[in-house]
Structure 1
């Protein structure tokens, strides 16, 4: 493994030591909680039969409740099986971890944020009508994101496809140095090293100049990456920082919901989004899982306001504050017009709106395809609806190709990904693995017309539990750039054949099927 971190080695050891201590405390606390639960159950040992019968009845009620809920069928099955097999512990763990439970106060806060977001982001109907004249299918897809994600679609927005991470890093540094008014960063992972330290030096300087610099990071995403209470360190540099959903040593379903977005906004009219976090493996400064292939997009113009409102709504939700979103509109900071071809629609996806926006956006692309569907994804853990849609497309003569990693970051998740290969290949879907290392891009490109670049993985956590975002593109130059990059990437991939799937020992096949059964909970 090649490290290029120089003098940061000592600091990294301190971070890892602190993080390990924090995790050990977390697991020790969980062990104590499990012990207390077992102890409580043992108190009923003289009445075990009655307790077991009550557990069976409670389990049956839970199963009935789950079956009649709105969650995905695969997610339901993944919970029903342990509840039926282990009625005592399965039911307890569902009550702790199952679903997305919010307090009334949090529901009210999120409802207010959604109302504020909707009233701040106003669709220009002339743009929507022009899109409808070009394609009613494209207009319908845009309307879905407008109605359910509250995110308008825009013309006249410069967009540039950036891949791999080194390209995004160079562009981001360039734009950060130009900042005059504000910088907003929202990332799942931030880790000290070449990438973050370079950016941090710029943020410190900009904060000294009086620029409004704000950072949001996810606590679970950074638990092994940053020192505990790192936000306090940033505050010393006049960088405002908030931590999403702090990692607490308790059995709670709140750990399920993570801020998986990767957003950067500079002065309201420059934005970045995609799959690239602020850590050195994303720019191949060192090899973690071989060569890291990732993708992002640079946006300039009106559409950046969607990103700004996403960031501010998250900031206000965490901070219990009330920003005036309209103060940050692009036209307040630049008079430049970005006259480009095509349409851009940045959108967000939240587990709190009870609508699978990311999955529906992907399904719309699959179902409207006429020629080809090219997909990059680090994980392939999908439900029956999406698997069926991809298979129907391939059976109908559409060229469906999917690229996944060859070197995984999580062996058990990769095992589930590989469990789909056999049935997909049988139904004419072409599967490739990125031979040099890890494919982390989350991209769709369809028919030289549509593309999506964002943070949304093809797994249950991204599609149902995490806060995510993406950019939906129609007939922009970036669509063709993404296609070109995809086809060039195939030269570095190994295609998986049906014989590769059949020459697998049965214990491995069985293990993959078991993992796949519980994949919605991974």
Structure 2
């Protein structure tokens, strides 16, 4: 019993949750007590809540985010408005996250060949608008002469990453949401330490909130003691604020500027099925070799500058130096919660709206706003074969209930839903018509589209897309299709509970 208690106290997630709950309880108790003692405080809090509700109605936020807050404020007018000031999407809270500095505009002049945006537009004109949108909003262009490799499971990407890291001669950049000691990370860390001793520049950035349950709070200092430049992104400080939601959910690995990895795979043993938590862990990733890696390098450098305030004035030495033969085009990109542009969701929308035959999506979480529901249902009702694969075994039961609450509306419109029976599907992909696909870190949920720092690689044309398609079809073969019989088996009380949870889904 004592050991369990010690373990619980040492868990930063537990301690942080307790501190946040205590702060919230103190705020509620203080406001309630003061309001009962001084009626003018009660009136002022109620007036504040009314003003915030009116402001929310007029605000250009996504309705899926505004409605839960409006409901909470109306239910608890005394402290609902104050809680929105603490946790809501207010200009003050957003400015606190933006305070560091603006992201520098990338410079790709040192890349051995120019971007291939015009060539891609000529070869695949249907996707010109989407590619131009990404370039305009995130300054990440399309590249050719880049070899691509698709990894249908984490084990294969892990082996390729080890080989790539062993080949490093100049630098290694790694940016991940989760790092956890074990076979995967320990193996990679041994290589990184060896490369530091050989004179390589090694930089590692990890999300502090994502690693609450996996790393001690001073792990960055330990890495620095090994000669690795290490940074914790958005250090977790358990106070009532909204920028704790802005997590670095990206997964990027760059070696010498010529090799880059991206996808859903974090650096923990469940991602390579060395640790079994929720059945077989199905994840995916992609490797780029050539000029296309320049976008990944720029993304990493921008985030490092944003986090540390350091400036890289010699960025040219991190740019690719080789070209590789490739039969398609690539466009790695990022999405940031610090602006009013939902790049990730818009990229998905472009693909769905331009589909002519099919759209296949894999996602661990399915929490959709009205715009995405409309895009998916209209596509299905227009004769497009729309299929979505979600996990058969959940990692978060509450979120899983919300995910399932969207099935019926999509199913009635003709969208085919599948659940991966062997275990947990963590892959985050969308592909369409054998000529476009995205492999990245974005879930089909509110957090990924609106709150997190995310990234993905768009693949235009090429044989790699056929490999992705074949893998998705194989995954469907291992999945159960949701049908009318499945809906009849769902208890009506569970269905009602899920619908209520769905109202507050953007806050989960």
Partner of 2:54: 64
Structure 1 counterpart of 2:38, from 6, 26, 47? 47
Partner of 1:3: none
CA distance in 2, matches of 1:386, 1:484: 25
Preserved CA contact (<8 Å) 2:284 2:428 = yes
- Provide, for residues 357-401 of structure 1, a one-character-per-residue CA deviation record: whole Å limited to 9, x for no partner: 000000000000000001100001010111111111111111111
Compute the displacement of 1:521 (Å).
0.5
Compute the displacement of 1:23 (Å).
3.6
Structure 2 counterpart of 1:337, from 292, 316, 323? 323
Structure 2 counterpart of 1:146, from 110, 129, 135? 135
1:244–1:120: structure 2 CA closer, same or farther, 3 Å change rule?
farther
Preserved CA contact (<8 Å) 1:121 1:151 = no
Structure 1 counterpart of 2:80, from 87, 90, 96? 90
Preserved CA contact (<8 Å) 1:349 1:356 = yes
Compute the displacement of 1:125 (Å).
7.5
Partner of 1:301: 290
Preserved CA contact (<8 Å) 2:108 2:294 = no
Matched, 1:435 2:418: no
Residue 307 of structure 2 aligns to a residue in which SS? helix
Matched, 1:176 2:162: no
Q: Which moved more, 1:488-497 or 1:187-196?
A: 488-497
Structure 2 counterpart of 1:358, from 344, 347, 350? 344
Compute the displacement of 1:327 (Å).
2.5
- Normalising by structure 1, we get a TM-score of 0.92
Residue 117 of structure 1 aligns to a residue in which SS? coil
1:273–1:121: structure 2 CA closer, same or farther, 3 Å change rule?
farther
1:120–1:26: structure 2 CA closer, same or farther, 3 Å change rule?
farther
Partner of 2:70: 80
Aligned pairs for 1:3-402 (under 5 A) are: 17=7, 20-37=10-27, 38-48=29-39, 50-99=40-89, 101-102=92-93, 107=98, 109-111=100-102, 113=103, 115-117=104-106, 127-324=116-313, 326-331=315-320, 334=321, 336-402=322-388
CA distance in 1, matches of 2:89, 2:112: 33
Preserved CA contact (<8 Å) 1:120 1:325 = no
Preserved CA contact (<8 Å) 2:179 2:206 = yes
CA distance in 1, matches of 2:115, 2:292: 15
Preserved CA contact (<8 Å) 1:19 1:224 = no
CA distance in 2, matches of 1:408, 1:120: 45
1:506–1:123: structure 2 CA closer, same or farther, 3 Å change rule?
farther
Q: Which moved more, 1:61-70 or 1:445-454?
A: 61-70
CA distance in 2, matches of 1:263, 1:325: 21
Q: Which moved more, 1:404-413 or 1:132-141?
A: 132-141
Compute the displacement of 1:110 (Å).
3.7
CA distance in 2, matches of 1:35, 1:405: 35
Residue 345 of structure 2 aligns to a residue in which SS? helix
Matched, 1:497 2:483: yes
Structure 1 alignment gaps of length 5 or more: 1-12
Compute the displacement of 1:146 (Å).
0.2
- Provide, for residues 418-471 of structure 1, a one-character-per-residue CA deviation record: whole Å limited to 9, x for no partner: 011111111111110000000100001100011000000001000000000000
Residue 195 of structure 2 aligns to a residue in which SS? helix
Structure 2 alignment gaps of length 5 or more: none
Residue 87 of structure 1 aligns to a residue in which SS? coil
Partner of 1:8: none
Compute the displacement of 1:502 (Å).
2.9
Residue 444 of structure 1 aligns to a residue in which SS? strand
Residue 347 of structure 1 aligns to a residue in which SS? strand
Residue 148 of structure 2 aligns to a residue in which SS? strand
- Provide, for residues 167-195 of structure 1, a one-character-per-residue CA deviation record: whole Å limited to 9, x for no partner: 10000001000000000000000000000
Compute the displacement of 1:45 (Å).
1.4
1:148–1:33: structure 2 CA closer, same or farther, 3 Å change rule?
same
- Normalising by structure 2, we get a TM-score of 0.95
CA distance in 1, matches of 2:489, 2:17: 39
1:164–1:246: structure 2 CA closer, same or farther, 3 Å change rule?
same
CA distance in 2, matches of 1:305, 1:418: 39
Preserved CA contact (<8 Å) 1:19 1:223 = no
